Structure 1
Amino acid sequence: MPPASIPVSDATDLGAAIRAARKARDLRLEDVALAAGVGLRFLSELERGKASVRLEETLRVLSALGLRLSLEDPRG
């Protein structure tokens, strides 16, 4: 299982975290795409770190994996 909190600073980090969570749950790309209501191509590109402005779809993928996005101010 991936760590409870993963720092994400770019699309590549986010994609790697999503892929790690999917694999830790032993899910196929197809399973997550169907559960999130997104296309297989979108999910594949998201996991590969392709920059995207499709935030709503990204949030649905996170939700389908039981993940949530939170923001943190690194300045404290």
Structure 2
Amino acid sequence: MIINSISDISEAVKKRRKSLGITQSECAVMCNVGNRFFSELENGKETLHIGKVINCLQILGINISLTNREDNE
């Protein structure tokens, strides 16, 4: 999946959480963030702390990688 916006990340997080069968509150506890942060993550807030976002992705088992655009052409 190519990430072009925060909404792409939000969609992946929500999909993964639902596939795990857990609530936002349970996921927030698991990721060591507040309920509000996790809700804002799933709703695509653009000003979230990137370190916390990456931590949530790792805990949820969502891998991320970076490549240069020209490498994909």
| TM-score of the superposed pair, with normalisation by structure 1 | 0.83
Identity within the alignment, %? 28
Query: Which blocks of at least 5 consecutive residues in structure 1 are unaligned?
Result: 1-5
Contact 1:32 1:64 (8 Å CA) reproduced? no
Distance 1:47 1:75 in 2: 30
User: 1:60: how far off?
Assistant: 1.6
Partner of 2:40: 45
1:13 to 8, 12, 15: 8
| TM-score of the superposed pair, with normalisation by structure 2 | 0.86
Larger Rg: 2
Partner of 1:3: none
Partner of 1:32: 27
User: 1:7: how far off?
Assistant: 1.6
Quick check: 1:23 aligned with 2:45? no
2:67 to 49, 68, 72: 72
Distance 1:64 1:31 in 2: 12
Q: Greater helix percent: which structure?
A: 2
Number of aligned positions between the proteins: 71
Contact 2:24 2:38 (8 Å CA) reproduced? yes
Contact 2:28 2:38 (8 Å CA) reproduced? yes
Residue type of the alignment partner of 1:31:
E
